[in-house]
Amino acid sequence: MPFRCAVLDDFQNVARSVADWSVPGEEVEVVSFTEHFGEEDELATALADFDCVVTLRERVAFPASLLDRLPRLRLLIASGMRNSVIDFPAAKANGVTVCGTLSASTPPVELTWALLLGLARGLVQENTALREGGPWQSTVGADLHGRRLGLLGLGKIGGLVARVGLAFGMEVSAWSQNLTEERAREVGVRRAASKEELLSEADFVSVHLALGERTRGLLSAAELALLKPTAYLVNTSRAAIVDQEALLAALREGRIAGAGVDVFDVEPLPAGHPMRTAPRLLATPHLGYVSRANYEQYYGQAVENIRAYLAGSPVRVLG
């Protein structure tokens, strides 16, 4: 019987083409699922006959209730080396080894700037008008040079975003609960005295924090009210860091100039979700990590994990 591996949320159907899934001396059958399973019952049924599951980021939760229904599962591989939606004690209790893969920081950095620049220069509106015979020049772009970029988080991704901002000639400040003066000096930015100061002074705010108890709902209606009416907010991190209803209200009421969002409270975004039609919103379907080089790393290392597991020496073990 072959070692059967399911690849979840392979929306572009590329997992098998960006990596060599062969395992010397072993027969491995790889099945890609291009549609998302939104319900636990669907997952339990679809994955019942698989020894291994490869899941993207934190899109699919693996609680004890699901793991208990997958007696054949032996190996669970998640892209990235951190995952908050896998029940690691339950996985261990069910004899499931959990492994991760490395994830590049540059793709989300690049998408952050794509969103920020798209907002600042009205690229979607202008492109649509040009294609559809609309007005020639209908927006007035927001300048970056000399304006303040406020970063919530100055880790690996936030630091790279900061350096691009500095290259544009922006004044860059940053804040997080753990940010030190030493780290701010290392990157060459100003450490804001408080979250409130950063939000009230910034012309552009970009979120680069990990989701946890301290960051969930960090930007509520009260924090969003501190933003200038000319300010833009970009979130390529996690949707739950920003109060989604408060953000929608701010966009609808024109209390901020716009937002660029790559992450949502429900993914994939349902057809009737208000984020699909919100004004002043530039949105992308969680493309932050979606690049060829990153996929080659994800799936290439997933294969390495399978080979190591079958050889009896698992690597990149999580939990």
Strands 148-152 and 232-235 come out as unpaired
Cα–Cα distance for residue pair 233/256, rounded to 1 Å: 8
Looking up tokens 């429900």 gives 266
Q: Single out the catalytic residue among 57, 148, 286, 307.
A: 286
Contacts of 182 (CB under 8 A, 6+ apart): none
Give catalytic status of residue 29 as yes or no.
Answer: no
Sign of the Cα torsion 157, 159, 165, 170 reads positive
Token pair recorded at residue 5? 């591996």
Give catalytic status of residue 276 as yes or no.
Answer: no
Give catalytic status of residue 238 as yes or no.
Answer: yes
Q: Single out the catalytic residue among 110, 267, 296, 304.
A: 267
The DSSP-derived string for 90-146 is HHHHTT-EEEE----SHHHHHHHHHHHHHHHTTHHHHHHHHHTT--S----PPP-TT
> Helices 123-131 and 106-120 meet at what angle, rounded to 10?
60
Contacts of 234 (CB under 8 A, 6+ apart): 112, 115, 116, 119, 204, 205, 206, 207, 259, 260, 261
Nearest by Cα to 252 from 228, 230, 278: 278
Q: Single out the catalytic residue among 57, 191, 238, 307.
A: 238
Residue type, 146: G
What are the catalytic residues?
238, 267, 286
